[in-house]
Amino acid sequence: MSETFLPRQMVVTFHPKMPAAHQEAEAIVAYLKERGIEAPKGSLNDESLRKRVKDGHFDMLVAVGGDGTMLRAGHLCAPSKVPILGVNLGRLGFLIQVERGNWRSYFDRLFNHEAWIENRMMLHTELIRHGELQGVWYALNEAVVGRGQIIRPVQLAASVDDLVLARYMCDGLIAATPTGSTAYALAAGGPILPPELRNILLVPIAPHLSVDRAVVLSEGSAVCITVNSDNAILSVDGQQPIGLAEDDRVNVRAGEYTAQFVRFDDPGYFYRNLTAHMNQNPSLGLTR
């Protein structure tokens, strides 16, 4: 656990398409004002607010929404090393420790020096075509090379540190962070990794007569995914997919940025949060 954390200049953000998140953000701003703290408020689409975050005007960002909101906040805040405190209004909240009904008590604990900063690895993903760099993306969860709208498997080859690992005929290959091990990678049958690790997790999606096991790479290792079909796409943290061509290479390594999250209690919170979620799926209306 790192040293305790107490912010001095906060900003409150919310999911732009979630009215309840906007209302909760207003309540948080009012609470902070009662504590003598003037915190600006805006949606994560507010470009002027985003610029202020990038320029280092704040030392903590409050993100009100769900896990998707936390992903967007992570992309925004990581380069500027701004810690994020999430307030969950979504369905699952794997990334969020604070719920809608108890954020006041957690803010009280924050001001009582009971919070600490958790650092989570991000991925640096780049697309190489004909030897030229086409783009760079950062992921908190995963980079996925998969099939596009044409419903047939893709052929992929994965190399780790320039050594051939495996060839796949599959619906896709996930390169996930430990954070992403509880997202798409978990749904594809991958293992769950503790969030403090800095290992890349490779998980094939519906492999056909191919390697069907997930692989955890050594810390510091990089993976190169070569596309051997014409129907593949690249999707980073579920963002707009990028069309891939045959012989394209997608290189994935640990990123130079880390996402910082404000946490409470001991690091065992992760396992308690995980256990609470694994026996229920509110998306399907199933609770046990």
Q: Quick one: residue 36, left, alpha or beta (phi over 0 = left, psi -120 to 50 = alpha)?
A: left
Clarify whether 67 is annotated catalytic. yes
> Please, are residues 193 and 199 in contact by the beta-carbon 8 Å criterion?
yes
Q: What is the pLDDT of residue 240?
A: 93
Query: Residue 40: pLDDT above 50?
Result: yes
Q: What is the pLDDT of residue 1?
A: 53
Structure tokens that stand for 54 in this block:
């990038």
Q: What is the pLDDT of residue 288?
A: 33
Confidence category of residue 269, pLDDT binned at 50, 70, 90: confident
Query: Residue 215: pLDDT above 70?
Result: yes
Q: What is the pLDDT of residue 286?
A: 45
Chain segment 102-149, per-residue pLDDT in tens: 999 999 999 999 999 999 999 999 999 999 999 999 999 999 999 988
The rounded mean pLDDT for the chain is 93
Active-site choice (67, 171, 237, 248): 67
**Residue 243 CB: number of other CB atoms within 10 A?**
11
Separation of first and last alpha carbons in the chain: 32
Give percent of the chain with pLDDT exceeding 90: 85
Query: Residue 97: pLDDT above 50?
Result: yes
Q: What is the pLDDT of residue 283?
A: 57
d(CA 226, CA 251): 9
Query: Residue 3: pLDDT above 50?
Result: yes
Angle at 31 between CA 27 and CA 37, to 5 degrees: 125
Mean predicted confidence (pLDDT) in 272-277: 77
Q: What is the pLDDT of residue 2?
A: 56
Mean predicted confidence (pLDDT) in 195-221: 96
Chain segment 226-265, per-residue pLDDT in tens: 999 999 999 999 999 999 999 999 999 999 999 999 999 8
Q: What is the pLDDT of residue 285?
A: 55
Cβ-count burial of 72 within 10 angstroms (0-12 exposed, 13-18 middle, 19+ buried)? Answer: buried
Query: Which residue ranges form the domains of the chain, and what is each CATH number?
Result: 10-113 (3.40.50.10330), 123-256 (2.60.200.30)
Q: What is the pLDDT of residue 149?
A: 84
Mean predicted confidence (pLDDT) in 6-34: 95
Query: Residue 287: pLDDT above 80?
Result: no
